[in-house]
Structure 1
């Protein structure tokens, strides 16, 4: 029986690291990719092959895929997990940062998918796993560019699923809720820098606190939950097209389907602690 081969991006911490270890434990030959190779020493010690990869650098992605095929002869699972959250008011966020958000969260995932698909088509099997977010179905204040990338990846996944189904390839979307990773800290820090002063400062302070405050941290789910879900999906004979998992994911997506746009706006302002004073931009 041929050992299946998986590539996991964004594997230096959090969901990516947990997924690489989970798939390795299930018998996969696992390649873990990230920009910071030095942070993947524990993965290497566990028998995972670590790769230096920047998903905004086409050459590094091509080199990684070439190495995988040369060494393992195939690729069965691609987990597009690399990503980050760029928050800030639309008025404040430089377009250079907006483009960077799409380069990492969307175009990097799509380019790796393009590189993997010829090999999956040749073997008439494979699974593409795209990590989006409950944020690919809902919206939050000051998160336009982040949500834009996740909405985009959801749509791309749907179209891709229809295209590759005749070749025996599955496309699965994972929609995490609140997860205990570095994501919230990075997103909140960016938000404070970009919109922490000026007209949107009140909203920015409230939103940043809701993202990485103590109360939020206590409710977040462990990355292992997402890793277990990914392992379940890639092992299934007929995986679901979507898995919403982690704190708040299913309730929030369901609530969005029930409420009107303005009703959901009001709910999110309340849930994130953005008061009338914050809306007015006052301290």
Structure 2
């Protein structure tokens, strides 16, 4: 396995709650003021429309990169998606980081009136989308023209096939942090620290020489600044049957004092090579304290 140099930390916040224009502008500016490097949005029904939200975020801020975490490619025709990607990159002055995924919430497919294909067929469509979008955006004649060539590509997943696809194509790999996809109406069970490490090392082994180029990202399930770590994770014990001790070992469960959490992130970067982490919107202010500590 190629040895990875330690990259500088990057910190993202995933803004999931729909808002009026003024409210959206205010929270994007707040994320920038708190020190976040990237503002990302999901692609789920009932949440912000990804591309308009990122264009509005670009108008409201100056510094942060802007990303999708992640576009459900099963909802899109590749040529139409390429148009929206290019237009968004153009209108954000080249600040876009494009995150793509295969889609996994069956209820959303049902609501959209779309067939919920097998995991293999959804990944097939994702792979075709990656290939076709890259082909179209590399064409000098494509309109609208993206500001970046190429736009950084993030692929998210946990299974072998998805990680093989990411190892071939991605500039950033995001590891899901769950043991298996959620069933409709249920929370996905979290993966143990050992399982997370195994998935990351599996992907690193596939990257080979590209390991020096590809950035590793991990989503944070929880950030809580507290002096009582055990009490803070007690509510999660019933999710997948993990004990308090197992929960506190997971890289995505950042619980403790600001100094403890900062040390945990340094340890994750040193042992797993993960330098880029994404907090959820409700945890933005607690995580900002950790960002300040690390800088």
- TM surpasses 0.5: no
- If each structure's helix is expressed as a fraction of its own residues, which one has the higher value? 1
Q: TM-score range by the shorter chain?
A: 0.3 to 0.5
Q: What is the TM-score normalised by the length of structure 2?
A: 0.35
Q: What is the TM-score normalised by the length of structure 1?
A: 0.36
